[in-house]
């Protein structure tokens, strides 16, 4: 739970670094992903782990989906308002609730559904309450919807990659995993490598100008590499222990963190309605997370 929350906060803070960097959006995304490859590669070497081919191929879906999320979101905010794109992205928990049962056997309670709705509504109030303007175009909203689907897909395949699959009961080997979970560092390394490679043609086709950038730009890009990179490591580690229903609600609060950080560091003021919406979202996230911790504690005692 702590790792999932740390990832949410890190992703929320990364938006400030994007604003401070003056290079085009897709160029920044490519440079951040390219710098992330040696970062996770160094972690592999330091921990004496290795990414073999069989493991690498299992990370390809996550890497492609992550690339799609980044590419479509950065394109969406060029065509529609950031408010629209962010609100659409905050609907991830609703999608996860529909598939968590069939894929992972998770059965969210009615209270989880209610609190998830409250969290999404609170995030919407925070973002829409900013009063931001932008050209509202159908294509931009469709790209934001595509980004939402890609991010949700990345979330789910990452959970599957980190999940230990056990043999079916009755086959005489129910206590033996039929497929081993991928290690956090190995999985994140593979995903970053695939996403970086996939982003190259996307950035080139976009026609956005590649520049050398200023030293300050590279400082912010370097920090972006460490902050979101650490968030992916923390999130992928948490997938082994936290249900996707709960973790997706936690991450849905990251626009609230982004709005608060922007008010502090970028002097973008928050209105009373936004503050109330942010508090409501945080309380809803805490309710879902707290319920999950209590249930796990009871199950642990029973076991």
pLDDT of residue 173: 44
Q: What is the mean pLDDT of the chain?
A: 78
Using one digit for the tens of pLDDT, what is the confidence trace for 261-273? 777 777 767 678 8
CA 128 to chain centre: 21
Q: Write out the DSSP string of 200-254.
A: HHHHHHHTPPP----HHHHHHHHHHHHHHHHHHHHHHHHTTTS-HHHHHHHHTTH
Residues 195-218, mean pLDDT to the nearest whole number: 85
Residue 78 makes CB contacts below 8 A (sequence gap 6+) with 25, 140
C-alpha–C-alpha distance, residues 24 and 196, integer Å:
16
pLDDT at 170 over 50: no
CB 213 within 8 A of CB 23: yes
Q: For Cα atoms 131, 136, 139, give the angle at the middle one, nearest 5 degrees.
A: 140
pLDDT at 30 over 50: yes
Q: Which domain holds residue 174?
A: 2-302
Residues 269-287, mean pLDDT to the nearest whole number: 77
> What 8-state DSSP symbol labels residue 96?
H
* Highest-scoring range by mean pLDDT, 18-27, 131-140, 193-202, 293-302: 193-202
pLDDT band at 87 (very low <50, low <70, confident <90, very high): low
pLDDT of residue 59: 92
Q: Which residues pair with 179 in a beta bridge?
A: 165
pLDDT of residue 276: 83
Q: Which residues pair with 177 in a beta bridge?
A: 166
Residues 22-50, mean pLDDT to the nearest whole number: 86
Instruction: Give 252 or 303, the one with higher predicted confidence.
Output: 252
pLDDT band at 133 (very low <50, low <70, confident <90, very high): low
Q: For Cα atoms 10, 40, 249, give the angle at the middle one, nearest 5 degrees.
A: 30
pLDDT band at 244 (very low <50, low <70, confident <90, very high): confident
What's the predicted TM-score (pTM) here? 0.75
Short-list 88, 126, 128, CA closest to 263: 126
Our count of domains for the chain comes to 1
């Amino acid at each position: 739970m702590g790792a999932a929350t740390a990832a949410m906060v890190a992703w929320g803070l990364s938006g400030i670094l994007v604003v401070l960097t003056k290079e085009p959006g897709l160029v920044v995304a490519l440079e951040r992903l390219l710098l992330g490859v040696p970062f996770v590669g160094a972690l592999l070497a330091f921990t004496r782990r290795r990414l073999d081919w069989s493991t690498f191929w299992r990370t390809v879906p996550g890497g492609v989906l992550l690339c799609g999320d980044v590419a479509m979101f950065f394109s969406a905010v060029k065509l529609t308002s950031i408010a629209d794109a962010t609100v659409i992205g905050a609907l991830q928990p609703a999608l996860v609730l529909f598939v968590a049962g069939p894929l992972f056997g998770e059965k969210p309670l009615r209270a989880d559904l209610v609190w998830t709705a409250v969290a999404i509504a609170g995030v919407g109030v925070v973002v829409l309450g900013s009063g931001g303007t932008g050209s509202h175009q159908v294509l931009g909203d469709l790209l934001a919807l595509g980004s939402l689907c890609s991010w949700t897909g990345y979330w789910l395949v990452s959970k599957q990659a980190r999940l230990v699959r056990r043999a079916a009961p009755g086959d005489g080997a129910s206590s033996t995993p039929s497929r081993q979970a991928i290690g956090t560092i190995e999985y994140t390394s593979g995903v970053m490598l695939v996403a970086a490679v996939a982003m190259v043609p996307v950035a080139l086709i976009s026609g956005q100008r590649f520049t050398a950038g200023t030293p300050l730009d590279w400082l912010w890009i370097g920090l972006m590499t460490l902050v979101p990179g650490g968030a992916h490591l923390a999130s992928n580690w948490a997938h082994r222990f936290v249900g996707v229903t709960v973790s997706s609600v936690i991450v849905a609060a990251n626009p609230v963190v982004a709005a608060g950080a922007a008010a502090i560091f970028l002097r973008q003021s928050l209105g009373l309605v936004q503050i109330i919406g942010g508090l409501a979202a945080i309380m809803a996230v805490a309710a879902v997370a707290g319920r999950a911790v209590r249930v796990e504690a009871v199950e642990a005692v029973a076991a």
